[in-house]
Amino acid sequence: MNGSGSQKNIIQIRGLEYSYPPQDDRPAVPALSGVDLDVAEGSFVAVVGRNGCGKSTLAKCMNALLLPDSGSVVCAGFDTSCGETVWELRRNVGMVFQNPDNQLVSSVVEDDVAFGPENLGEDPSEIRRRVDGALKAVGMYELRRQAPHLLSGGQKQRVAIAGVLALDPKCVVLDEPTAMLDPSGRREVMDIIETLRARGTTVILITHFMEEAARADRVVVMDGGRIAFEGSPAEVFAQTGRLEECGLSVPFAAELAQLLREEGIDVPGGIVNAQQLQDHLCSLK
């Protein structure tokens, strides 16, 4: 039962509309209006946008935590609105949330990682194998008997990622996983995202940090519940004006490159990270 047979898109979203239901005195709030998005298998896509632009809602739609009002979301071949396959879908599309504290279920790291495979009803030996594998993949194997509240934010988030990896997903959706972390925690999480990418897992990263988005294969800019524009990081971050309209800035390296260009220094477009800028500036002389 794999997809609609088209090319290898792990996620296909067509005309997705979603409104949060009305509450007490508040009317319904439209969060997504007419989103179309394809994500190729094995790619790393960053979704950026200001607060309230609908990016977290979009992430939750991919995991069937929210169901579309209209339109369709097909992930890993499963339509999210089909109630029977929702668990198959969720084991294939893992989700990591913003607050590392609020997504860990157990008081011991390895038991928390085991939570997912236990829910799937795997054999104890298979669960053990997956838990050890997932913990090693995020570099938390040594701390497997630790209590989560004694870990740093970055470590907690790594445990949360391990908990998702233990489900053996094809795709991992991370909803602002670094928003509550300090710079070193942020680096830890980004390094793991690179590992996931190297393993061929599709990564969808919802983020506020342009430096993180610059590392993706593709950047999707959202504004007002729809996709404003998208492209490779080089293409997206060249459009400073459009980004500012969406309430976003460009990565520091891209901004610096632009300023240098205005000063008449020969810096090509498409520079999005410090390494590229450094390499180019060093080659100038």
Partner 1 sequence: MAVRDITIGQYFPADSPLHRLDARTKILGTVLYIVSLFCAHSFSALAAAAVMFAVCAALSRVPFGFMSRGLRPVLVIIAFTMVLNAAFTAGGAVLVTLGPVRITSGGVRRAVFMAVRLVLMIFGSSLLTLTTKPLALTDGLEKLFSPFSKLGLPAHELAMMMGIALRFIPTLMEETDKIMKAQTARGASFGTGGPISRAKSLLPLLVPLFVSAFRIASDLAMAMESRCYRGGEGRTRMNAASLGRRDLAAAVILAAYMAVVLMINGSPLA
Q: Which 100-129 residues touch partner 1, going by CB under 8 A?
A: 101-108, 110-111, 114-124, 127-128
Contact pick of 28, 82, 147, 265 for partner 1 (by CB under 8 A): 147
Number of residues that bind partner 1 (CB under 8 A): 43
79: CB partners within 8 A, 6+ apart: 72, 73, 85
259 near partner 1, judged by CB under 8 A: no
Sign of CA dihedral 4, 8, 14, 19: positive
141 near partner 1, judged by CB under 8 A: no
Specify the stretch interacting with partner 1 by CB under 8 A; choose among 15-23, 90-98, 203-211, 251-259.
90-98
Closest by CA to 277, choosing from 260, 263, 262, is: 260
CB of 120 vs partner 1, minimal distance in Å: 6
Specify the stretch interacting with partner 1 by CB under 8 A; choose among 19-27, 156-164, 189-197, 245-253.
156-164
CB of 257 vs partner 1, minimal distance in Å: 39
149 near partner 1, judged by CB under 8 A: yes
Structure tokens given for 74: 């097909």
Q: Which 163-202 residues touch partner 1, going by CB under 8 A?
A: 163-164, 167
CB of 71 vs partner 1, minimal distance in Å: 21
Q: Which is nearer to partner 1, 100 or 225 (CB)?
A: 100
54 near partner 1, judged by CB under 8 A: no
CB of 77 vs partner 1, minimal distance in Å: 17
26 near partner 1, judged by CB under 8 A: no
Sign of CA dihedral 267, 209, 48, 136: positive
95 near partner 1, judged by CB under 8 A: yes
Structure tokens given for 149: 């509240």
CB of 107 vs partner 1, minimal distance in Å: 4
CB of 189 vs partner 1, minimal distance in Å: 16
Specify the stretch interacting with partner 1 by CB under 8 A; choose among 22-30, 96-104, 207-215, 277-285.
96-104
Dist. CA 32–CA 30, nearest whole Å = 6
91 near partner 1, judged by CB under 8 A: yes
142 near partner 1, judged by CB under 8 A: no
Task: Enumerate long-range contacts of 81-87, CB under 8 Å, 24 or more apart.
Answer: 85/1, 87/120
- Residues in contact with partner 1 by the rule CB under 8 A: 60, 63, 65, 87, 90-91, 94-95, 97, 99, 101-108, 110-111, 114-124, 127-128, 131, 145-149, 160, 163-164, 167
